[in-house]
Structure 1
Amino acid sequence: MFDVYKAISDPTRRRILDLLKEKDMTVGQITEHFRISQPSISQHLAILKNCGLIESSKHGKYIIYSLNMTIFQELLGWVIKFNNKKENDN
């Protein structure tokens, strides 16, 4: 879980997640939204993929990136349980 928090602590990676929330995209499409190089975006994508926040699939010569909603659901479930425990402690 620590890797997930570390991954979303970066504003560029959060912006990538926001973009992928709207639609699945290639690295080239994602790069169009930033003023950084495609290799830099690829590094951010690798971090997001390694912690499970995004998935990729090959379509012809393109790799399409999409959100892995399972991880987001687990994260949300943990936050809700954490919040409920904190409220019950008061």
Structure 2
Amino acid sequence: MNESFKALSDPTRRQILKLLRGGDRTAGEIADHFHMTKPSISHHLNALKQAGLVFDERRGQHIVYSLNTTVVQEVMGWLLGLMGEPAEDQSQPKEEDSDEME
């Protein structure tokens, strides 16, 4: 998870993740949202990929990036727990639900 936090420390990478929340995008589509070189965007995408926050898939001549929601949810759950707000555990019934079952 340390790699995830390191990747999230950069505002450009956080913005890329926001873009990918809206759906898969090619590297060129992502680069169109920034005023930086394509090699710089590639560096950021690689850092996100190494952290497990995004997937990449070759589709024809393009590489398409998508959000790895599993890892993002894990990181968010950890952050919420750190702030004292535990993420809901869907596998356990709530106390009020268990009373109704008796």
TM range (shorter): 0.7 to 0.9
Indicate the structure (1 or 2) with the bigger Cα radius of gyration: 2
Gaps of 5+ in 1: 86-90
User: Which aligned segments of 4 or more residues in structure 1 are displaced greater than 6 angstroms?
Assistant: none
Displacement of 1:84 after TM fit? 4.6
Displacement of 1:77 after TM fit? 2.3
Using the alignment, how far apart are the partners of 2:85 and 2:11 within structure 1? 28
Give secondary structure in 2 for the equivalent of 1:52. coil
Q: Which amino acid aligns with 2:80?
A: I
TM-score norm. by structure 1 comes to 0.87
Report how many aligned residue pairs link the two structures: 85
TM-score norm. by structure 2 comes to 0.77
Q: What percentage of aligned pairs have identical amino acids?
A: 47
Residue aligning to 1:60: 60
For the structure 1 residues 76 and 34, does the alpha-carbon distance in structure 2 shift closer, same or farther, using more than 3 Å as the test? same
Using the alignment, how far apart are the partners of 2:85 and 2:18 within structure 1? 27
For the structure 1 residues 21 and 84, does the alpha-carbon distance in structure 2 shift closer, same or farther, using more than 3 Å as the test? closer
Q: How does 1:40-51 map to 2 (within 5 A)?
A: 40-51=40-51
RMSD: 1.3
Using the alignment, how far apart are the partners of 1:12 and 1:79 within structure 2? 20
